[in-house]
């Protein structure tokens, strides 16, 4: 058996086409969705991420306000900029690209962003609202912004025709960015959830039980064919550059794809979905601004 390849690029394009129509409707009402992106320093990966986000904004019709600050920018200077963006009515979403230089406290920066403009979905208020809701229908209707990568994972599984409700979802990784929030989203979709981490004993015994396996551990090719079952849908969140310059994920793709039901590639899987859901959150923020 060869797995179905879940094409994140294709699904992300479908989402962007849907958003274009929503943006046209908003503009007819006099609202131009605006996303402010802030990059501090010259980290090459961050520059690529920002470039792709700005490209998506241009395609959909979202106005982008990009601020590229020098690496020596102080914490106070960045916080002042965020305060300005919080009060700017043309800006509906704010994204500060991580990681930040060592002189800046990332937690202070995330807390400084207005929760109603937190389109990255990392503010404690948005995470708290997510954890307090039981059903996905409630979450998506309310003024809650979901973390983009976890939200993208759920959306790509849905749009690929797989059923989440009643499934056994196993997440390898417990980060605040992916592991914990995606677990809460699976619970909201009525899956039974297990979170694995460095303290998990007999990891392979747990992962083999998964109907849906999310690999978000940060180690190249850690998930092998011996760790999955034939029924598994495997979502690979990791991105790593090998010595030969090729990219790989947390999953041993070439071997695992010969065994499982479905799998996401790296690149072209979760990455495009993360940016697509950032656009979804920005358009949602613009819509909500018309109701206040």
Q: Could you give the residue numbers annotated as active site?
A: 53, 97, 120
Q: Where does residue 137 rank: exposed (0-12), middle (13-18), buried (19+ CB within 10 A)?
A: exposed
Q: How many CA atoms lie within 13 A of 279 on its CB side?
A: 30
Phi-psi category of 221—alpha, beta or left, where left has phi over 0 and alpha has psi -120 to 50?
left
In the DSSP assignment, the letter for residue 97 is P
> For the residues of 222-233, what is the DSSP string, one character each?
-B-GGG--TT-E
Q: Where does residue 285 rank: exposed (0-12), middle (13-18), buried (19+ CB within 10 A)?
A: buried
Task: Give the distance from CA 104 to its chain's centroid.
Answer: 23
Record the tokens describing residue 160, joined without a space. 């690929």
The residue whose two tokens read 């695992």 is: 256
Asked whether 258 and 225 are in contact (CB, 8 A), the reply is yes
């Amino acid at each position: 058996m060869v797995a179905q390849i879940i094409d994140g690029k294709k699904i992300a394009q479908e989402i962007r086409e849907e958003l274009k129509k929503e943006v046209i409707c908003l503009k007819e009402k006099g609202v131009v969705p605006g996303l402010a992106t802030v990059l501090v320093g010259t980290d090459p990966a961050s520059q690529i991420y920002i470039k792709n986000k700005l490209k998506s904004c241009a395609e959909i019709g979202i106005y982008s306000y990009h601020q590229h600050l020098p690496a020596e920018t102080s914490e106070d200077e960045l916080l002042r900029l965020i305060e300005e963006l919080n009060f700017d009515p043309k800006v509906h979403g704010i994204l500060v690209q991580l990681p930040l230089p060592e002189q800046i406290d990332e937690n202070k920066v995330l807390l400084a962003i207005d929760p109603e403009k937190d389109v990255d979905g990392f503010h404690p208020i948005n995470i708290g609202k997510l954890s307090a809701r039981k059903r996905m229908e409630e979450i998506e209707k309310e003024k809650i912004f979901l973390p983009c990568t976890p939200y993208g994972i759920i959306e790509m599984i849905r749009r690929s025709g797989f059923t989440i409700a009643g499934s056994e979802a196993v997440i390898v990784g417990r980060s605040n960015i992916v592991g914990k929030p995606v677990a809460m989203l699976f619970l909201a979709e009525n899956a039974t959830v297990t979170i694995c981490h460095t303290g998990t004993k007999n990891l392979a015994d747990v992962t083999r039980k998964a109907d849906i396996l999310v690999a978000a551990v940060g180690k190249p090719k850690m998930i092998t064919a011996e760790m999955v079952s034939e029924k598994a849908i495997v979502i690979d969140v990791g991105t790593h550059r090998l010595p030969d310059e090729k990219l790989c994920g947390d999953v041993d793709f070439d071997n695992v794809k010969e065994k499982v039901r479905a799998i996401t590639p790296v690149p072209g899987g979760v990455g495009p979905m993360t940016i697509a859901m950032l656009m979804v959150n920005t358009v949602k923020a613009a819509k909500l601004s018309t109701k206040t």
